[in-house]
Structure 1
Amino acid sequence: MLTQILENEEDLADYPEKILRGIAYKFGNNSYEYQMAGGTRKSARKRIVRQSKCGFCSRSTCFYWFAN
């Protein structure tokens, strides 16, 4: 009885993820519907901007980057 309850809990824990995947398939992961279902729109995610080691210029123009 207890193992059946635990198995049911695991299945229910996966259910929202499956629903969200279905919504992303139908509407796309950058849609308003995806956001309303609890997902984060792709365009709303924060992009990671990496800086060079010196922190003043980009890697393509950084003399420190090419020297080391």
Structure 2
Amino acid sequence: MPRQKLNSEILNKANQRAVSLQAIHAQLDLGRGLTLEAYLAAIATHKTNLDDYNRTLSAIEQLARAVEESEKTLKDLTERMLLGVGAHYGKDSEEYVMAGGARKSEVAHTMSKARTGISSKKKAPEATVV
């Protein structure tokens, strides 16, 4: 599940507060570093960080899709390469084994249980009536 992009209620509230504070005084200074200028700078920093985060998520999602697609392509090509070696050299050849295949003559063929008549279900023991 991909991460969701963030919205900030705090940022919205801070923007509204900043507008209200500007209405009090354009250069508001409440002392001890509480200035409108510092407040607006903190708002801008948070907005930049939030935008960068959301932009990065979009890029990561795009890269994740590219990785998934290239993995599908590589998986298909890997299978086709083995099949190509099998077609070229034979599925019983040393080259086929070197490419990662199993020799056709060494693969154990198992019969299905239905064909052999073996039932996988066991009968439950009969209950005795007392």
* Fold match (TM-score > 0.5): yes
Q: Which residue of 1 aligns with 2:96?
A: 34
In 2, Cα distance between the equivalents of 1:3 and 1:47?
A: 39
Equivalent residue pairs, number: 53
Cα distance change on mapping 1:46 and 1:7 into 2, 3 Å: same
Q: Which whole-Å deviations, capped at 9, do the CAs of 1:3-54 have from their partners, x for residues lacking one?
A: 222111111122221110110110011111101111010000113367566x
Q: Which has the larger radius of gyration?
A: 2
1:14 to 55, 76, 101: 76
In 1, Cα distance between the equivalents of 2:83 and 2:117?
A: 37
TM-score (norm: length of structure 2): 0.35
For structure 1, the residue ranges without an aligned partner over 5 or more in a row are 54-68
For structure 2, the residue ranges without an aligned partner over 5 or more in a row are 1-61, 119-130
In 2, Cα distance between the equivalents of 1:18 and 1:37?
A: 11
Question: Identity percentage over the alignment?
Answer: 36
In 1, Cα distance between the equivalents of 2:90 and 2:66?
A: 35
TM-score (norm: length of structure 1): 0.62
- Alignment RMSD, CA only? 2.0
Cα distance change on mapping 1:7 and 1:32 into 2, 3 Å: same
In 1, Cα distance between the equivalents of 2:84 and 2:95?
A: 11
